[in-house]
């Protein structure tokens, strides 16, 4: 197996994530403080501005996948009526709750997941998140509020933005009641500015992979993205990505390659296979193929946060621009740009059984994009958390055969 080169940033990140979980846990026990659960691309900025500690169940779902505990828990959710065909973040998270277990116990000494005062969703990514939060709303007897977003969006128009803004504003009375404090637009602006800085720095980190050889891969980024998801809108996230960016620059200056003898540059499309992240990183490394860019890690780059003006409009546009919510034509355009920017030689599409929303293999997109750009592709079938859907041997055979025939040279 190739040598892994852990980042200094990972140590700092461990401490940050521990602080995050202890912070939310402490808030859930303090009668003066409030906890909001939020979907990963939900209005975290609005919630922070109202003084909530914010907890993200999808992050917990990814932990269950990465620790390979998901398989133990998914059947418990299935038995409670949640199909094995729906989001395996949902089924592993709900199953773990029903089992009364969480990796937060072992990792951080928490008794359980922090209890929410309110649950806030945005369906920009899928309907599953709403159903997921509805389960907890019934369980905990706390309000469920959210935004129902358009999907399959071509160009994001002023009408789309206005519709979303109206929905965000309509959340305020319920959120103020749950928070026990009034909304303050200046505080909202401050939090949004911190999210904008986080997003800009995270993008700059990801864009370092344009360098040959790349100093980081998709697999590194899946680890380093934690603060962009759960701590955006805080000074800690900004400081973390400033340091990470400096470390990447050091690596580039010292000629450190994430993949020794980098020969091919790969686009990873779709969800990670959390329980096999390290194995797949090692496997591609052996083949001297570097996964330099991905749809997934880019999902927490929100250029529109920086647009200035009304903060509601900036946030609304940022969360409407999300790749997963866009039409196939728009996705094709975005991917074609990234293939050229990162000089990609080939695309690995991950068709995730339980996430059709973030599997872009089912309506001819790979074929059209190949016709347009000439970049070859392979499709592997698996899942984000449910390893019963992932045949490692078959996936590795397909990837290896693909890599052997891909010429190096990059997209035009």
The least CB distance from residue 77 to ligand SF4, in Å, is: 13
Query: Exposed/middle/buried for 94, CB within 10 Å: 0-12, 13-18, 19+?
Result: buried
Binding of ligand SF4 by 49 (CB under 6 A): no
Tokens for 156, please give them. Answer: 């994001």
Stretch that binds ligand SF4, among 121-129, 133-141, 176-184, 294-302 (CB under 6 A): 121-129
From 146, 139, 127, 52, select the one nearest 96 (Cα to Cα).
139
CA atoms within 13 A on the CB side of 266: 33
- Out of 73, 89, 121, 349, name the contact with ligand SF4 by CB under 6 A: 89
- Out of 38, 63, 384, 406, name the contact with ligand SF4 by CB under 6 A: 384
Residue 9 or 147 having the CB closest to ligand SF4: 147
The least CB distance from residue 64 to ligand SF4, in Å, is: 12
Binding of ligand SF4 by 357 (CB under 6 A): yes
Phi-psi region of 207 (alpha: psi -120 to 50; beta: other; left: phi over 0): alpha
The helix-helix angle for 311-320 and 158-179 (nearest 10°) equals: 110
Residue 96 or 289 having the CB closest to ligand SF4: 96
Interface characters, 336-355, with ligand SF4 (x: CB under 6 A):
-------------------x
Residue 89 or 377 having the CB closest to ligand SF4: 89
Residues 362, 382: Cα–Cα separation, whole Å: 14
Binding of ligand SF4 by 365 (CB under 6 A): no
Binding of ligand SF4 by 129 (CB under 6 A): yes
Residues 229, 59: Cα–Cα separation, whole Å: 8
- Out of 66, 96, 126, 322, name the contact with ligand SF4 by CB under 6 A: 126
- Out of 128, 247, 345, 383, name the contact with ligand SF4 by CB under 6 A: 128
Cβ of 403: how many Cβ atoms within 10 Å? 21
Residue 247 or 386 having the CB closest to ligand SF4: 386
- Out of 59, 125, 217, 298, name the contact with ligand SF4 by CB under 6 A: 125
Number of amino acids touching ligand SF4 (CB under 6 A): 12
Residues 143, 232: Cα–Cα separation, whole Å: 24
The least CB distance from residue 45 to ligand SF4, in Å, is: 20
What does DSSP assign to residue 302? Answer: -
Binding of ligand SF4 by 277 (CB under 6 A): no
The least CB distance from residue 55 to ligand SF4, in Å, is: 15
DSSP of 206-260: HHGGGSSS-S--HHHHHHHTHHHHHSTTSHHHHHHHHHHHHHHHHHHHTT--SST
The least CB distance from residue 127 to ligand SF4, in Å, is: 8
Q: Which residues contact 158 (CB under 8 A, 6 or more apart)?
A: none
Binding of ligand SF4 by 389 (CB under 6 A): no
Residues 161, 147: Cα–Cα separation, whole Å: 12
Query: What order of strands is seen across the sheet that includes strand 289-294?
Result: 289-294, 264-269, 346-352, 377-382
Binding site for ligand SF4 (CB under 6 A): 58, 87, 89, 125-126, 128-129, 271, 355, 357-358, 384
């Amino acid at each position: 197996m190739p040598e892994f080169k852990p980042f200094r940033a990972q140590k700092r990140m461990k401490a940050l994530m521990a602080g995050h979980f202890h912070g939310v846990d402490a808030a859930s026990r303090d009668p003066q403080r409030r906890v909001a659960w939020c979907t990963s691309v939900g209005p975290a900025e609005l919630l922070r501005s109202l003084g909530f500690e914010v907890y993200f169940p999808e992050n917990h779902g990814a932990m269950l996948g990465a620790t390979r505990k998901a398989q133990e828990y998914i059947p418990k959710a299935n038995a409670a009526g949640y199909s094995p065909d729906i989001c395996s973040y949902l089924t592993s998270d709900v199953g773990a709750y029903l089992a009364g277990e969480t990796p937060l116990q072992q990792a951080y000494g928490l008794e359980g997941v922090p209890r929410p005062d309110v649950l806030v969703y945005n369906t920009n990514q899928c309907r599953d998140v709403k159903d997921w939060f509805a389960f907890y709303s019934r369980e905990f007897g706390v309000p469920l509020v959210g935004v129902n977003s358009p999907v399959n969006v071509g160009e994001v128009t002023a009408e789309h933005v206005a519709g979303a803004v109206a929905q965000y504003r309509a959340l305020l009375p319920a959120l103020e009641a749950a928070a026990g404090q009034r909304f303050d637009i200046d505080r909202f602006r401050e939090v949004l500015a911190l999210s904008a800085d986080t997003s800009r720095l995270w993008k700059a980190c990801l864009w370092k992979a344009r360098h040959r050889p790349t100093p980081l891969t998709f697999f590194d980024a899946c680890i380093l993205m934690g603060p962009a998801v759960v701590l955006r809108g805080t000074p800690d996230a900004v400081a973390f990505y400033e340091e990470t960016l400096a470390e990447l620059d050091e690596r580039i200056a010292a000629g450190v390659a994430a993949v020794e003898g980098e020969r091919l540059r790969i686009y990873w499309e779709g969800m990670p296979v959390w329980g096999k992240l390290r194995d797949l990183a090692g496997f591609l490394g052996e083949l001297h193929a570097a996964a330099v860019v991905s749809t997934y890690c880019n999902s927490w780059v929100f250029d529109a946060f920086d647009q200035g003006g009304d903060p509601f409009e900036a946030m609304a546009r940022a969360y409407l621009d999300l790749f997963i919510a866009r039409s196939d034509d728009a996705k094709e355009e975005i991917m074609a740009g990234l293939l050229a920017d990162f000089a990609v030689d080939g695309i690995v599409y991950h068709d995730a059984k339980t996430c059709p929303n973030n599997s872009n293999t089912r309506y001819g997109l790979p074929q059209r994009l190949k016709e347009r750009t000439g970049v070859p592709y392979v499709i592997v079938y698996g899942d984000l958390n449910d390893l019963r859907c992932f045949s490692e041997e078959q996936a590795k055979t397909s990837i290896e055969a693909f890599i052997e025939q891909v010429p190096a040279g990059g997209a035009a």
